[in-house]
Amino acid sequence: MFPLPEKTKKPKIGTVNGHKPAQSEIEAFCLTVDLPASDGELMLLKWNADGWPKNWMDKIRYWKGRGFMPSQQETEKKNRFAPKRPILNAI
């Protein structure tokens, strides 16, 4: 008979080559896509609590593109009360 193919273990979700990335690796990736390292730390905490996405690098790029990253939210909060159009002085 023909030998059966060996079963290969698939890497777990959110891992690269079978291991979860270290905090320093996530922070370094955030710096390469022009985000502060603090966003990487917060994403690590979120994914440890909620579960890892299939591809964490793509997830960071997606969140950045949509403006969901914590550093982007802080910028929007600071400008929340700024007038959207010039205020005309009433005489």
pLDDT tens for residues 24-64?
A: 999 999 999 999 999 999 999 999 999 988 899 999 999 99
Is residue 7's pLDDT more than 80? no
Answer yes or no: is 50 within a domain: yes
Domain count, the chain: 1
What are the residues whose beta carbons fall under 8 Å from the beta carbon of 43, sequence distance 6 or more? 26, 30, 56, 59, 60, 63
Boundaries of domain holding 59: 23-67
Answer yes or no: is 73 within a domain: no
Answer yes or no: is 85 within a domain: no
CB-CB contact of 30 with 36 (8 Å): yes
Please give the pLDDT value at position 32.
94
pTM of the prediction? Answer: 0.65
Answer yes or no: is 63 within a domain: yes
Question: What's CA 33's distance to the chain center, in Å?
Answer: 10
Q: What is the mean pLDDT of the chain?
A: 79
Please give the pLDDT value at position 43.
93
Give the residue with greater pLDDT, 44 vs 75: 44
Q: Distance between CA 66 and CA 32 in Å, rounded?
A: 17
